[in-house]
Structure 1
Amino acid sequence: MILITDGGSTKCDWIAIHNNGEKAADKIRTKGLNPAIIAEKKLRKTVRKSKELMALANEVTHIFFYGAGCGTEKPTLLLQSILQSYFPKAIVEVREDTYAAVRACINKNDESAVVCILGTGSNCSYFDGKNLHQRVDSLGYTLMDDASGNYFGKQLIRDYYFNKMPDTIKVAFAHKHNLDSDFIKYNLYKQANPSAYLATHAEFMFINKDSDYIKNVIKDGIRVFSENMIMQFKEELKTSPVHFAGSIAYFAQEEIKEVAKEFGYTVGNFERRPIEGLVSYHINNL
């Protein structure tokens, strides 16, 4: 049995499949397991508390974990060690989430493409058909993550406090979220996962997209992401499409296509949940 995981900062989706390609269990969901920002104790607790995962612990022979925060050696080895301890019979492979996006989005294994992730966090890489290339190391939500859920959450909260929101939007935003300053600061500076907390505010945009203000917030964020991340690959963009994975990208397809015309790149596929594409990929490569 193999276990395939799409791991984000907010949540992880796990799918178990038998070696014949049949699903072994319903999709399992746990809290996020980003080893770059979540303490080891909490990572272990999240895995251990999942009764569904623990029920499979002695049957799993291979784990393919694709996760946010798994782009550098130290956090990758930490998470690999934790998973190995709970799945003692498994060979554990931990890769950065960009590989999940590549395998879920591309149309064939040797296709070249620029692949972007816009979820709780954000990233952008070039896949040449064999290898993944990144030209900027991600420094996380504090300094980077343009056009991500946490980026847009931060923008909305800032606009609310700087009185840049239209009054009707401001009232609606305050009705949906607790915008008390002490509550916000508590979640940002005293809780374990401020990136995920900020990202919870991004949903507000997509239920209020009829507002010109909201549309401009989304497009401005996509412009920043395009300028800083996608346009690193100017030469590659001449012959390769740009694929997008993640919930933010999925719900911002219209705005992404509009901004793409401004920057002159070709938009390819959108994949809201890479886990489904990953299952197809691994079944085809068993």
Structure 2
Amino acid sequence: MILLVDSGSTKCDWIAVDKDGNQLLDKLRTKGLNPAILAEKKLKKTIKKSKELSAHRHTVTHVFFYGAGCGTENPRLLLKGVLNNFFPNAEVEVNEDTLAAVYATVNHKNEAAVVCIQGTGSNCSYYDGENLHQRVDSLGYSLMDDASGNYYGKQLIRDYYFNKMPHSIRVALEEKYNLESDYIKYNLYKQPNPNAYLAGFAEFMFLNKDSEYIIELIKSGFREFAQNMILQYKEEIKTVPVHFAGSIAYFSENEIREVAKEFGFTVGNFTRRPIEGLVTFHTNELKNNQA
């Protein structure tokens, strides 16, 4: 059994397939496994909580894990150790989520492209057709993550408290969320995964896209992302497309295309969940390695 895993900070999708790419179990979902913000004990607890994973832990031969927080060595090795321990008979690979986005969005394995992730967090890399290049080390949700779910959640809360949103949007936000200051501070400073808590507000944008305020909020965030991240690859975007992965990007496609025209780069493909594209890639790779 081969496990393909795509994890953000909020949620983690698992697909079990055989060597021919046939799905063996229904797609599983656990809470996100971000080793940059979760302790080893919490990572283990989250995986063990899945009855399906526990039932098949000894039959898994390969684990290909792609996740937020896996772009630096120490968190990556921490999670790799947890997975090795839980799946004792498996070969385990842990890679950053950007690589999953690459394999899921490029039109063929050797296509060069700039690939962006906009989900709970955000990131941007250049894939030269073989290797991944990043020019900015991510410092996480409190300092970076422009145009991500947690970024937009933060902006909505700020605009609410600074009285910078239309009255109708303010009322709708109050109806959907608990906006008491003590409750917000409790979730931000006393609970795990504050980035995921903030990202939970992002859904509100897509339920209210008939508002000019919301449309401009989306575009403003993406302008920051383009300026700070995509333009790190100023020369590359002259000749390669810019692909997008993640639910925020997927539901903001029209706004992204408008801002892309302002910045003069070519928008490529959008995918909401990268994990489906990983099945074909890895089963083909395993077949080639066995040939």
Structure 2: how far apart are the matches of 1:39 and 1:174?
Answer: 33
Match of 1:99?
99
Give the TM-score, by structure 2 length.
0.98
Count how many residue pairs are aligned between Structure 1 and Structure 2.
286
- Residues 39-188 of structure 1 mapped to structure 2, 5 A cutoff: 39-188=39-188
How far off its partner does 1:168 sit? 0.3
How far off its partner does 1:285 sit? 2.2
The one-letter code sitting in structure 2 at the alignment partner of 1:65 is F
Structure 2: how far apart are the matches of 1:177 and 1:114?
Answer: 36
The one-letter code sitting in structure 2 at the alignment partner of 1:272 is R
The one-letter code sitting in structure 2 at the alignment partner of 1:34 is N
1:142 alignment partner, SS class:
coil
Matched, 1:224 2:224: yes
Structure 2: how far apart are the matches of 1:241 and 1:218?
Answer: 21
Match of 1:196?
196
1:143 alignment partner, SS class:
coil
1:141 alignment partner, SS class:
coil
The one-letter code sitting in structure 2 at the alignment partner of 1:74 is N
2:116 alignment partner, SS class:
strand
Match of 1:246?
246
How far off its partner does 1:280 sit? 2.0
Q: Percent identity?
A: 71
The one-letter code sitting in structure 1 at the alignment partner of 2:21 is G
How far off its partner does 1:55 sit? 1.2
Over 2 Å off, 4+ runs: 283-286
2:26 alignment partner, SS class:
coil
How far off its partner does 1:281 sit? 1.5
CA offsets 1:253-276 (integer angstroms, 9 cap, x no match): 000000000000000000000011
Give the TM-score, by structure 1 length.
0.99
Unmatched segments (≥5 aa) in structure 2: 287-291
Structure 2: how far apart are the matches of 1:139 and 1:21?
Answer: 36
- Residues 270-285 of structure 1 mapped to structure 2, 5 A cutoff: 270-285=270-285
Structure 1: how far apart are the matches of 2:21 and 2:229?
Answer: 36
Structure 2: how far apart are the matches of 1:153 and 1:168?
Answer: 18
How far off its partner does 1:175 sit? 0.4
How far off its partner does 1:19 sit? 1.3
Question: CA RMSD for the aligned pairs?
Answer: 0.6
1:20 alignment partner, SS class:
coil
